[in-house]
Amino acid sequence: MKPFRYRLTAVQRVRDRRENEATEQYARALAMRANAVQTVDRAERELAAGQLECSNLLGNGAPAGDIRQRQSFCAVLQERRDEAARLLEQAEIQLNQALGVMLTARREAEAVRKHHEKARSGHLQEQQREEQHILDDLPLRSLAGMFG
């Protein structure tokens, strides 16, 4: 009996490698998005705290210079929050792209794995047929040897 040899082993390795790389890229994109979400949350909390402090200064009748300084600082915090939101949007775009690449790579690798299993199954069935044919011929060979 000859051993099973899959002719598309190189293709299977390439597809598996692509799938692994795409999965790793998706994981990196997911981590980047999580970091961006945390950055946006932190920026929003800082902005809210700054705005609350500005409101308290206004309510307490603080000097105009202090209020103006706090408003300027709030404007900087708003810019930071807006930039964090832009980065989050970019991270989500990258995440969606990485997901598409990963799903495509997974489908392609799965197709090669299914083909491999079909080829292996066909090889095993062929081997079983050959073995059965040999077993079926044994009684005839024995009889031929007795009378031959």
Predicted local confidence at residue 131, as pLDDT: 85
> Tell me: the pLDDT tens digits for 3-59?
888 888 899 999 999 999 999 999 999 999 999 999 999 999 999 999 999 999 889
Q: pTM, whole model, 2 decimals?
A: 0.73
Domain of residue 20 covers: 9-110
Question: Percent of the chain beyond pLDDT 70?
Answer: 93
pLDDT-derived band at 132, boundaries 50, 70, 90: confident
Domain total in the chain: 1
Asked whether residue 141 is domain-assigned, the answer is no
> Which residues, in sequence order, are CB contacts of 17 under 8 Å at separation 6+?
none
- Cα(31)–Cα(37) distance, integer angstroms: 10
Residue 69, both tokens:
């300084």
Helix (H, G, I), strand (E, B) or coil at 6: coil
Average pLDDT over residues 83-108: 98
